[in-house]
Amino acid sequence: MSMDNKRAIEMGETALGIEFGSTRIKASLINKNHEPIAGGDFTWENRFEHGVWTYHTEEIHEGLQTCYKRLVADIESKYGVVPTRFGAIGISAMMHGYLPFDADWNQLTEFRTWRNTITGEAAEELTKVFDFNIPQRWSIAHLYQAVLNKEAHLSKLAHFTTLAGYIHHCLTGVNALGVGEASGMFPIDSSINDYDATMLDAFDRKLDEKGYSFRIRDVLPKVLVAGADAGCLTEEGARFLDPSGKLEAGIPFAPAEGDAGTGMVATNSVRVRTGNVSAGTSDFAMIVVDKKLGVHRELDMVTTPAGRPVAMVHCNNCTSDINAWVDLLAEFGGLIGADIDKGELYPKLFNLAMTGDKDCGGLLSFNYFSGEGVTDLDAGRPLFIRTPDAKFTLANFMRTHIMSAMATLKIGLDILTKEEQVPIDAIYGHGGFFKTPEVGQRVLSAAVDAPISVMETAGEGGPYGMALLAAFTIWRDDKEALEDYLGSKVFGNATSVTVSADADEVAGFASFLESYKKALDVERAAITSIGGN
């Protein structure tokens, strides 16, 4: 197999996916069997500066180049060759946010990420105008908030896009997005796989009212479906990605996608009535639907990379608070001379949590590092709460943080499954939350009262999903649908593990959630009374 992979790399018979996650930039290289054969990464973290969650542009560039350099090093160490070409490349990134540019692609403001909750006025007004839920993190909400704020940069605005769209343009010169990523910028009409024309017109009328002459159609990226021609690597793009000069230009690109879309692809969740939950720094559930839903602040309507409508429950906060507590416990271990690798500590604590009380024994926590749209909070304060008679054990302590990570997601999913009566045949999990076998699955299963499956490739995550989209661009049969390609050629013989919570675990999560909802007033009080970001 090693020799086969070496030949594939030398011949360019591979597909490369690179994804900009919130804490890591990761690359995944796959062969024609859709098997991951090499990878690279770069660790980074968002910054809160001047009231805005952001990443510096130089970090974006450095992170991409370092990730690619480490991919090449991994390939060379495994196969003894340095790649000069790939069959196709695809770029994905955390969705939404705001990156505005002038006509020469000079950046006009800091990158405003999905994590910001500074667009409440704009999101509320657009939701009413469109009769369609526009969350605060969506790109159009950021643009309209800039309009409401009369920001000076708008006089020079010629383009605005997402992080994935920006990198795609840097590498190909093409200003376009995959339809799934575009659906997090502006609402999509799935009957034509393009921006909704009625809403575009409505937005232009709002621009007229505010005295702006630019047209929204002119500043949005072009929309492309999975498999479409999204350009090729330019000479300039090749030097940008690989400053060593070894990478050849001319490599085809897949349409740039968002992490929601790549998560759907990586878990084979692009068919109607299937869904997936991605859980890491943030968490979100994506359920592919076949009917029009009502307008709910807690539900986003986006699309699969092929343009099918998807109901999305997105939560800004998931594992950050767990990570903070594990760091603290690791520090304590070091203090008493028991240094332990955190890679070993996480599974120990996660497995211990499963021995705790099913309802966490009266403990509560809120994992809100930042605001949370589902519970209508514009800021966050991580909290741990207990009553004097609560069962304060380490198992219960860890269990409450793990269950808290799924609590807000559960609140949103209840609207989809109970109010909208959306049927779900299968839910797949992926992301760091599910890394310890069965624990994350069991907690999520208790939350949604349904079986949760994790595929053997789930740990590969978004970059693997983007590599599959790149493969689909060049290796699909004529007119083959994305769901058929994934179902037959990629996941036909995939191994997965399915876990179902028992009745006591389901009842325990329900009891925990009721206490959680009642205590939201404590979180609101903390936000108003405790200073901070």
100-148 pLDDT, tens digit per residue, is 999 999 999 999 999 898 999 999 999 999 999 999 999 999 999 999 9
Question: Cβ neighbours of residue 3 under 8 Å, at least 6 residues apart?
Answer: none
User: With contact defined as beta carbons under 8 Å apart, do 285 and 313 qualify?
Assistant: yes
User: What residues pair up with 112 in beta bridges, in sequence order?
Assistant: 98
Residue 287 has pLDDT above 70, yes or no: yes
Average pLDDT over residues 515-532: 94
Residue matched to tokens 């704009």 = 122
Residue matched to tokens 């890394």 = 435
Residue 32 has pLDDT above 90, yes or no: yes
Q: What is the Cα–Cα distance from 482 to 303, expressed in whole angstroms?
A: 13
Q: What is the CATH number of domain 266-317+412-499?
A: 3.30.420.40
Q: What is the Cα–Cα distance from 325 to 329, expressed in whole angstroms?
A: 6
Q: What is the Cα–Cα distance from 270 to 426, expressed in whole angstroms?
A: 11
Paired sense of beta strands 99-101 and 274-279, if any: unpaired
Residue 344 has pLDDT above 80, yes or no: yes
Predicted pLDDT of residue 459: 61
The CA distances from residue 447 to 124, 435, 510, in Å, are: 29, 18, 7
Q: Please report which confidence band the pLDDT of residue 444 belongs to, taking 50, 70 and 90 as the band edges.
A: very high
Residue matched to tokens 């903070």 = 324
Question: Cβ neighbours of residue 150 under 8 Å, at least 6 residues apart?
Answer: none
Host H or E run for residue 26? strand 24-30
Q: Give residue-wise pLDDT tens across range 419-430.
A: 998 888 889 988
Predicted pLDDT of residue 533: 63
Residue type, 363: L
Nearest Cα residue to 299 out of 412, 417, 196: 412
The CA distances from residue 429 to 26, 246, 343, 433, 455, in Å, are: 19, 38, 20, 9, 8
Nearest Cα residue to 159 out of 150, 171, 169: 169
Ranges of each domain in the chain:
266-317+412-499
The fraction of the chain above a pLDDT of 90, given in percent, is 82
Residue type, 531: G
Residue type, 212: Y
Q: Give residue-wise pLDDT tens across range 174-218.
A: 999 999 999 999 999 999 999 999 999 999 999 999 999 999 999
Host H or E run for residue 463? helix 461-475
SS3 513: helix
Q: What is the Cα–Cα distance from 371 to 379, expressed in whole angstroms?
A: 4
**pTM higher than the cut 0.75:** yes
Predicted pLDDT of residue 38: 97
Q: Please report which confidence band the pLDDT of residue 292 belongs to, taking 50, 70 and 90 as the band edges.
A: confident
The fraction of the chain above a pLDDT of 70, given in percent, is 99
Q: Please report which confidence band the pLDDT of residue 235 belongs to, taking 50, 70 and 90 as the band edges.
A: very high
SS3 438: coil
Mean pLDDT of the chain: 94
User: With contact defined as beta carbons under 8 Å apart, do 324 and 298 qualify?
Assistant: no
Paired sense of beta strands 15-20 and 24-30, if any: antiparallel
Average pLDDT over residues 355-384: 94
Q: What is the Cα–Cα distance from 325 to 343, expressed in whole angstroms?
A: 14
Nearest Cα residue to 453 out of 269, 282, 300, 291: 269
Average pLDDT over residues 373-380: 89
